[in-house]
Amino acid sequence: MGALLALGLAIAACASDRPPDRSLADEVMQRHEAELMSIQGIVGVGIGQCDDQSCIKVLVERETPELAEAVPTDLEGIPVELEEIGSVYAQ
């Protein structure tokens, strides 16, 4: 669990200039986090930058066509992007 928290903090740190829509993206992510995390193959969710706007990053060990189909491209108008990160191990 600590590794996932560190991963989420790393994603958040990438967006040093926080655009105004970041708090909205965070609220939307929190509402859908449990639903996203229940999908087999998803190892984390966070807020990141996609095309100069805040988006929800869905972290997966390996991106597959099944995951791409299972994860929506946006949630409540906030873009969603899959990000393949490989295996995650607790330290």
- The CATH number that applies at residue 64 is 3.30.300
- Whole-prediction pTM: 0.74
Q: Does a structural domain hold residue 48?
A: yes
CA angle 12, 18, 22 (to 5 degrees): 75
The yes-or-no verdict on residue 64 having pLDDT over 50 is yes
pLDDT band at 70 (very low <50, low <70, confident <90, very high): very high
pLDDT in tens, 8-62: 544 554 444 545 578 999 999 999 999 999 999 999 999 999 988 999 999 999 9
The residue among 1, 20, 21, 4 whose CA lies nearest residue 59 is: 4
Domain that holds residue 20: 2-84
Q: Does a structural domain hold residue 89?
A: no
Domain count for the chain: 1
Q: Does a structural domain hold residue 90?
A: no
CA pair distance 44, 36, nearest whole angstrom: 9
Q: Does a structural domain hold residue 91?
A: no
